[in-house]
């Protein structure tokens, strides 16, 4: 019994591991199929553009739009509502957030379109506008670089989260050489039905060289009513089919050659633009380097001039200090030789101080006594200068007490 239980447990583990490996294999095959079909659809779209203008009626474009819509919707997370339910969402919700950083983007114009209401229809309108603007690869590259937003909108195992995402951006770059013409009011923007991929244009069976009978012989055998009608004399149709096949091959080679020439012209034009941009950047770099050198030289000259001015000022300061010391010594020597001069100088200084104090006290006295015109008992200003109030200096000089002995 114990052995049976262990065996059953091991079988359960093996079954769970097999389911995981099967699911991983299915997811890898699904991603590879979508990327391969996208590459084929881009090639057929480029081939068709050599002969006619691509519009909404082109089956190659409709198939490509369906493939791109399936890729961008692969493992897209649903939107959780307030009640905890998960409602489905369109890839436009992801593109609207992840492609905001693209310069001169068309997100706002598509959001404001009146005839497009559903999210799926807005996503299909965005594909057409991006193709007409020749910026579809730039939009996809910018969205894939925003890995945080991509992880928020997609589950693990999605194409946009795997290594196939880089291949997708590279494949879409070739569509910039095609001139598209779409009507944004047609039936192609109807978002009520999901897009369906037509795989029949990309399915091709190649018969090996070891096969006994050819396709023409098998068709004749199945189409004949009896075995006797298929005689070896009837050899005309195979030769005609060979001529047609050679003609078709020649036509395909001519188409590839024309496409290669157009791609070559586009790449040469792109290379010329890049070379012009590089030359302009190099010339601007040289101009900036020259400006930096000139500014450095000017700064050095200004620094030298300032240093020279500082030295001159220091010399002048030293000379002034020496002059001050010399004048101080001379004044000291004069005061020591003539003391009476020093006393007179002190007397003059005291007199000047008294006069200054009298001048400073005048406003305060006027403030305390008020205006001279308001009191009638005050004397006039001329009476203040009379001999009764102020002593005349001539009288002091002529008085006998002040005359020198």
Question: Has this prediction a pTM greater than 0.85?
Answer: no
| Nearest CA among 174, 138, 48 for reference residue 126 | 138
Residue 30 counted as domain residue: yes
Query: Alpha-carbon distance 366 to 316, whole Å?
Result: 48
Q: Environment class of residue 381 by beta-carbon count within 10 Å: exposed (0-12), middle (13-18) or buried (19+)? A: exposed
Q: What integer pLDDT is reported at residue 390 of this predicted model?
A: 42
Residue numbers in the chain where pLDDT is lower than 70: 1-18, 82-85, 186-188, 205-243, 337-405
Does some domain include residue 212?
no
The DSSP-derived string for 318-366 is HHHHHHHHHHHHHHHHHHHH-HHHHHHHHHHHHHHHHHHHHHHHHHHHH
Residue 362 lies in a domain: no
Q: Looking at residue 103, what is its pLDDT?
A: 86
Is residue 357, in this structure, part of any structural domain at all? no
Beta bridge partners of 79: 87
Question: Residues 6 or more apart from 198 whose CB is under 8 A from it?
Answer: 59, 63, 66
Rounded CA separation 54/315 (Å): 87
Q: Which domain holds residue 137?
A: 26-197
Retrieve residue 371's tokens: 């205006």
According to the model, what pLDDT value does residue 172 have? 92
DSSP state of 135: -
Residue 40 lies inside a defined structural domain of this protein: yes
Q: Residue 109: which CATH number? A: 1.20.58.900
The answer to the question of residue 98 being in a domain is yes
- Domain membership flag for residue 9: no
Determine the pLDDT at residue 240.
43
DSSP string, 22-87: HHHHHHHHHHHHHHHHHHHHHHHHHHHHTTS-B-TT-HHHHHHHHHHHHHHTTTBPPEE-TTS-EE
**Alpha carbon distance 311, 326 (integer Å):** 23
Cβ atoms of 177 and 118 within 8 Å: the answer is: no
* Residue listed under structure tokens 């490996």: 21
- The total of structural domains in the chain comes to 1
Q: What integer pLDDT is reported at residue 183 of this predicted model?
A: 85
Asked if the structure places residue 345 within a domain, the reply is no
Write out the H or E segment, with its range, that includes residue 186: none
SS3 359: helix
């Amino acid at each position: 019994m114990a052995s049976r239980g262990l065996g059953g447990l091991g079988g359960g583990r093996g079954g769970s591991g097999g389911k995981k490996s099967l699911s991983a294999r299915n997811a890898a095959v699904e991603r590879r199929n979508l990327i391969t079909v996208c590459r084929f659809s881009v090639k057929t779209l480029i081939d068709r553009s050599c002969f006619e203008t691509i519009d909404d009626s082109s089956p190659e474009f409709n198939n490509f739009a369906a493939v791109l819509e399936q890729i961008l919707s692969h493992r897209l997370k649903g939107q959780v509502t307030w009640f905890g339910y998960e409602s489905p969402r369109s890839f436009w919700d992801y593109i609207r957030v992840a492609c905001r950083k693209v310069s001169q983007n068309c997100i706002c114009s598509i959001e404001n379109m009146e005839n497009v209401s559903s999210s799926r229809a807005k996503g299909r309108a965005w594909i057409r506008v991006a193709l007409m603007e020749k910026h579809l690869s730039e939009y996809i590259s910018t969205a894939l670089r925003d890995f945080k937003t991509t992880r928020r909108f997609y589950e693990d195992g999605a194409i946009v989260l795997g290594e196939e995402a880089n291949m997708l951006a590279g494949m879409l770059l070739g569509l910039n050489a095609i001139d598209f013409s779409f009507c944004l009011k047609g039936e192609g923007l109807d978002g009520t039905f999901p897009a369906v991929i037509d795989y029949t244009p990309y399915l091709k069976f190649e018969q090996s060289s070891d096969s006994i009978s050819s396709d023409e012989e098998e068709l004749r055998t199945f189409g004949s009513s009896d075995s006797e009608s298929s005689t070896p004399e009837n050899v005309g149709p195979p030769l005609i089919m060979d001529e047609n096949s050679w003609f078709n091959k020649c036509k395909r080679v001519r188409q590839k050659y024309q496409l290669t020439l157009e791609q070559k012209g586009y790449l040469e034009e792109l290379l010329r633009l890049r070379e012009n941009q590089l030359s302009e950047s190099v010339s601007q770099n040289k101009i900036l380097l020259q400006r930096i050198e000139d500014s450095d030289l000017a700064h050095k000259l200004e620094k030298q001039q300032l240093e020279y001015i500082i030295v001159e000022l220091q010399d002048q300061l030293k000379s002034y200090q020496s002059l001050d010391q010399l004048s101080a010594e001379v004044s000291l020597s004069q005061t020591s030789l003539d003391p009476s001069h020093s006393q007179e100088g002190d007397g003059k200084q005291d007199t000047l101080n008294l006069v200054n104090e009298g001048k400073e006290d005048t406003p305060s006295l006027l403030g305390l006594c008020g205006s001279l015109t308001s009191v009638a008992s005050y004397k006039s200003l001329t009476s203040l200068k009379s001999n009764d109030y102020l002593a005349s200096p001539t009288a002091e000089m002529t008085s006998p007490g002040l005359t020198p002995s």
